């Protein structure tokens, strides 16, 4: 299909880029159009196509699961294993197969603004999601790894529908009633795990903002409970508060 670009307005060409099959010949014709608006539209289209390819590659593990007969796949990840204060957040997310979510990635690679935007998209479009918060007292009692594992089981088993397979970021869950796969760095390799990492991170960060209003002397809004110099100095000055993890150093030595 050949197109005489001069017979179309810039607005019409922008529409065509999303309404017809764009062959290499058509794309080249648009690239050669002398109008700046058309060239800008082509660049935007090419960026979107590149992003679609990147996000599509994140569904490799989900497609493999579908090939095994597991149509409903959940991704699981946590946020907040390292901080000195606050809960660990664990999320499980089931995405529609192949759903294109621009910018979807490991939450650590995203800006707070992008995470907030993606949180809204994921919670709106996910087949199901569940986020569990395991508090500091439980972390102190059972240790952070076990608290995270317990939270993962709770998040998965509270999904509706239940997944046929679970993809987990770097943790093995041997007692699940369905198959699972632990993937090192899974939040950057699986769309479902990446979505879970965003839900967990945003949920926890928003809670730490609330804690900042309750315990303003610690600066939780800025460091979210991580062991920054500012945070450690505040603990030394004021002592730990109820949401501090008293089994974590340097707090355990202080008390």
Average pLDDT over residues 123-136: 98
- How many domains, in total, are found in the chain? 2
Predicted confidence band of residue 3 (pLDDT cuts 50, 70, 90)? confident
| pLDDT value at residue 219 | 98
Q: Are residues 83 and 53 in the same domain?
A: no
Flag whether pLDDT at 9 surpasses 60. yes
CB 110 within 8 A of CB 203: no
Predicted confidence band of residue 2 (pLDDT cuts 50, 70, 90)? low
Dihedral of alpha carbons 219, 225, 230, 232, sign: positive
| pLDDT value at residue 52 | 96
Q: Is 150 within the bounds of a domain?
A: yes
**What does the angle CA 157 – CA 106 – CA 55 come to, to the nearest 5 degrees?**
95
| pLDDT value at residue 1 | 53
Q: Is 120 within the bounds of a domain?
A: yes
Q: How do residues 150-169 score in pLDDT, each as one tens digit?
A: 999 999 999 999 999 999 99
Q: Are residues 79 and 203 in the same domain?
A: yes
Separation of alpha carbons 214 and 192, rounded Å: 34
Q: Is 36 within the bounds of a domain?
A: yes
Predicted confidence band of residue 235 (pLDDT cuts 50, 70, 90)? very high
Separation of alpha carbons 134 and 174, rounded Å: 20
Average pLDDT, whole number, for the chain? 96
Q: Are residues 100 and 35 in the same domain?
A: no
- Kindly report the pTM of this predicted structure: 0.93
Give, for 162, the enclosing helix (H) or strand (E). Answer: none
Residue span of the structural domain in which 161 resides? 70-209
Average pLDDT over residues 236-247: 98
Which of the residue ranges 29-43, 64-78, 86-100, 159-173 would you say has the lowest mean pLDDT?
Answer: 29-43
Q: Are residues 9 and 118 in the same domain?
A: no
Q: Are residues 106 and 36 in the same domain?
A: no
Average pLDDT over residues 204-211: 98
Q: Are residues 14 and 130 in the same domain?
A: no
Q: How do residues 63-85 score in pLDDT, each as one tens digit?
A: 999 999 999 999 999 999 999 99
Average pLDDT over residues 131-137: 98
H-only helix segments in the chain? 10-19, 24-31, 36-57, 60-67, 112-125, 136-142, 144-157, 191-214, 220-223, 229-238, 251-254
Q: Is 15 within the bounds of a domain?
A: yes
Q: Is 227 within the bounds of a domain?
A: no
Flag whether pLDDT at 228 surpasses 90. yes
Q: Are residues 52 and 85 in the same domain?
A: no
Q: Is 29 within the bounds of a domain?
A: yes
Q: For 137, which DSSP code?
A: H
| pLDDT value at residue 19 | 86
CATH of the domain at 186: 3.30.420.10
Q: Is 102 within the bounds of a domain?
A: yes
Q: Are residues 34 and 74 in the same domain?
A: no
Flag whether pLDDT at 22 surpasses 90. no
* % pLDDT > 70, the chain: 99
Average pLDDT over residues 229-236: 98
Q: Are residues 52 and 79 in the same domain?
A: no
Q: Are residues 88 and 199 in the same domain?
A: yes
Q: Are residues 47 and 115 in the same domain?
A: no
Q: Which of 44, 182, 235, 196 is nearest to 108 (CA)?
A: 196
DSSP per-residue string spanning 57-95: HTTHHHHHHHHTT---EEEEEEE-SS-SBS-EEEEEEEP
β-pairing, 88-94 vs 180-183, is: unpaired
Q: Is 217 within the bounds of a domain?
A: no
Last residue of a domain, one of 172, 193, 209: 209
Q: Are residues 147 and 48 in the same domain?
A: no
């Amino acid at each position: 299909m050949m197109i005489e670009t001069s017979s179309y307005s810039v607005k019409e060409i922008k529409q065509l880029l999303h309404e017809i099959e764009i062959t290499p010949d058509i794309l080249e014709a648009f690239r050669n159009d002398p109008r700046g608006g058309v060239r800008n539209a082509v660049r935007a289209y090419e960026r979107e196509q590149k992003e679609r390819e990147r996000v599509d590659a994140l569904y490799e593990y989900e497609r493999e699961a579908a090939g095994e007969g597991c149509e409903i796949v959940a991704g699981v990840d946590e946020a907040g294993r390292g901080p000195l204060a606050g809960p660990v957040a664990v999320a499980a997310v089931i995405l529609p197969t192949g759903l294109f979510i621009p910018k979807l990635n490991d939450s650590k690679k995203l800006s707070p603004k992008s995470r907030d935007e993606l949180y809204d998209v994921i919670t709106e479009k996910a087949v199901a999601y569940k986020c569990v918060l395991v508090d500091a007292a439980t972390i102190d009692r059972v240790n952070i790894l076990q608290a995270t594992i317990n939270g993962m089981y709770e998040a998965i088993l509270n999904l509706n529908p239940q997944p046929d397979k679970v993809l987990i970021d770097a943790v093995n869950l041997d007692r699940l009633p369905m198959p699972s796969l632990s993937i090192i760095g899974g939040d950057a390799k699986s769309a479902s795990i990446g979505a879970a990492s965003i839900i967990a991170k945003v949920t926890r960060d928003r809670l730490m903002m609330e804690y900042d209003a309750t315990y303003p002397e610690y600066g939780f809004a800025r460091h979210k409970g991580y062991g920054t110099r500012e945070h450690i100095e505040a603990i030394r000055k004021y002592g730990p508060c109820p949401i501090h993890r008293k089994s974590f150093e340097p707090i355990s030595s202080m008390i």
